[in-house]
Homo-oligomer: A and B are copies of this chain.
Amino acid sequence: MKTQLQNYLNRYASFSSEEIDRFYNYLTPRTFQKKEFLLKEGDICKNKFFIIDGLIRLFNIDNKGHENIIHFGIENWWTTSFESFITEKPSLLYMQALEKTTVLSINKENLEKAYQNIPKLERVFRITTENMLIAIERKNEFYTKMSSKERYDFFIKKLPSFAQRIPQYMIASYLDITPEYLSELRKG
């Protein structure tokens, strides 16, 4: 795990093994079983999670009781409920493992200490947050430009192997389509 983290961090700035060790001490490894929740609506999201391995989804439940998947997280992504983590208010989001998932988690206090201790981490998180924004910008982009059918085709074409890791009704949810309608789209 430490090696994986090291490879990841060194993408963005160069860290000595000693620095990696220091950062690593702030992190707590945790494993979540399939279907287990990392976070539920109403909880205050106290951690950022670095996904070592596995798959998680971030979603909310609307007033009709429908789940809306906001994004998926896979290995080498940091994930959290940003708003809750930063404002320390109850989260509106759920975070759930879709496969057995191993993460390194860090709470706010330790993260702040780590920033003080290893300022280069500011850079890493500045960049990963930018990458997150780009991912969202792209999603919004293709949302506004495409019909349901087009979004689905695009998704399947772009991420064929990923699409096979998740049930179709979750793809539907992510693409903001009802599973029934997606089923029709696939037929026609």
CB-based contact A129/B133 at 8 Å: yes
- State A68–B81 Cα separation when bound (angstroms): 26
Q: Which residues of B contact A81 (CB under 8 A)?
A: 137
Which secondary structure dominates where chain A touches chain B? helix
**CB of A176 closer than 8 Å to a CB of B:** yes
CB-based contact A144/B68 at 8 Å: yes
Q: Which of B63, B119, B141 contacts A60 (CB 8 A)?
A: B141
CB-based contact B133/A82 at 8 Å: yes
Q: Which residues of B contact A119 (CB under 8 A)?
A: 119, 122-123
Number of interface residues of A (CB under 8 A): 30
* Chain A 43-58 interface 0/1 with B at a Cβ cutoff of 8 Å (1 = within): 0000000000000000
Expressed in whole angstroms, the minimum distance between the Cβ of A162 and any Cβ of chain B is 20
Q: Which residues of B contact A62 (CB under 8 A)?
A: 144-145
- State A138–B123 Cα separation when bound (angstroms): 25
Expressed in whole angstroms, the minimum distance between the Cβ of A68 and any Cβ of chain B is 4
**CB of A125 closer than 8 Å to a CB of B:** yes
Q: Which of B82, B115, B123, B130 contacts A86 (CB 8 A)?
A: B130
Expressed in whole angstroms, the minimum distance between the Cβ of A131 and any Cβ of chain B is 8
**CB of A166 closer than 8 Å to a CB of B:** no
**CB of A136 closer than 8 Å to a CB of B:** yes
8 contacts between A and B (CB under 8 A): A60-B141, A60-B145, A63-B145, A70-B137, A82-B130, A83-B134, A83-B138, A119-B123
